[in-house]
Amino acid sequence: MGKLEEMQNGSVIARIARAGAVLVVALSVAGCLLSSGVTISDPIPDEPRPPSGETAIGEREHPRVVAAYGGVYEDSGAERAIARMVGRLVASSDNPSQSYQITILNSPVVNAFALPGGYLYITRGLLALANDSSELAAVISHEMAHVTAKHAIARLKRAEEKALVTEVVATVVDDPKTAQTAIASAELSFAHFSQAQELEADIVGVRTLARAGYDPHAAARFLAAMGRFADVTSAHSGAGKQPDFLSSHPTTPDRITKAKFAARAVSGTDIGVRDRAAYLENVNGMLYGDDPSEGFVRGRSFQHAKLGIAFTAPAGYTMENSSDAVLATDGAGTALRFDGTDIPATMALDDYLRSGWVNGLIENSVRSTSIGGRPAATASAVADGWSFRIAVLRVDKMSYRFIFASKTPTPALDSAFRQTVQSFRLLSDEERLRLKPLRIRVVKTPAGASAAAMAARMRGIDASRRLALFRVLNGLAADEDPETGMQVKLVTD
């Protein structure tokens, strides 16, 4: 929850500007050169050239991407995991002369993407989910395919066209229904264009994997793992099950099916390198989940050592931490958002609630109160079919907000709101010192140990999700146990 720390410190520049774990891969026939100065094969002898139009776009957007994803993640093992494979992937790609800059982002989300000019990004959350080198290679080859096919440039142009259509229609067309139909048509056209790009990159990436000697079935395997991981970890796992036809990506089952067909077209069922042992060695000890600067989610509790605050959501709620806020849901239509807000010290908290930022505020619901001995105010609101319960409180120079929302308000909404708000407290010095980040630890499975027994050794994970997460992180089926001596990933503090 980085916004809280930003408000406290006034700037997040220091956090973002850490020395980067950025792998600058400048490949040609001569070989690959890393930004650290460590050379794989021979350095490129070419004279530096001014950036092309695509490279200039990548250079311009790179700092924004790094800032949006919590900065650059520094980890020598993670860097080695990428460096081991990137040269052979580029040499096997559709454009071996293309140069790349690969950045590991300090984010727990599972994501990877590309910008024009060969700027590729992989989150540490994705590295933690992958189980072998071939799965990571599948992700990198997919993003390389976006670059070689110039998808980013095409997508940028299409986005500009979409923005123009939307602006013109909204300005010129008087009939709201006609305008809405035209705008929806532009949205759908853009979405389908992007879906086609993703499928094309999947297929090109699988071919690149096979040519580089990696298991081409890794693409389908990792896509399936991503889908399972999202189901296990998302605070919104009860929603969004229906296909979103305005999504920029095809639905995961569709991508998995096509990736399997592509793999069968270039190989048998068991061919190509997976390199599991070496990969797990490289990710052993890697940070997992929340960065300490954004606080920690521990089951249903959120704790922030630097800010010295904590609160707990009710039983049945699933919690997520993001750079902007802490989010939670009960899976039955009630959602929670907790964040920090900048309220002038001279403004009373009840006046802040009345200052206009709350749509549908019920004026006579505003109450001044205290939470844990701290000044606070609460209110209710109704807007767009949603009912809201809101609390703001002040701790020294910081102010925080709890916002509960439900489509079907019941007494349970009020109970969950009160329970959560009243759980807010300040951490003791001992508690703050005891808070440690979670990390990936690779261990061997002892004889007779079940998946449940191994999952029980994990820490910082809600008990209801521990077993499912253990199996997903280790590529095990929903009812599968690890074999004796199998190296597995555990999440521990």
Question: Could you please report the per-residue DSSP string of 215-262?
Answer: -TTHHHHHHHHHHHHHHHH-TTTTS--S--TT-SS--HHHHHHHHHHH
pLDDT of res. 154:
55
Amino acid at 339: D
CA distances from 396 to 325, 339, 461 (A): 20, 16, 31
Residue pair 211/92 in contact (Cβ under 8 Å)? The answer is yes
- Supply the DSSP symbol for 94: S
In which element (H, E) is residue 318 found? strand 318-321
382 - beta bridge partners?
Answer: 387
Q: Extract the tokens encoding 266.
A: 């270039």
pLDDT of res. 446:
97
How much is the pTM? 0.71
pLDDT of res. 285:
95
Residues of the chain below pLDDT 70:
1-52, 150-195, 234-251, 268-270
Which residues make Cβ contacts (< 8 Å) with residue 185, sequence separation at least 6?
none
First to last CA, the chain: 19
pLDDT of res. 169:
43
407, 406, 383: which is closest to 336 by C-alpha? 406
Amino acid at 297: V
Phi, psi at 2, each rounded to 5°: -65, -25
Integer Cα distance of 336 and 389 in angstroms: 9
Residue pair 434/440 in contact (Cβ under 8 Å)? The answer is no
Q: Extract the tokens encoding 471.
A: 């199996």
Integer Cα distance of 79 and 32 in angstroms: 14
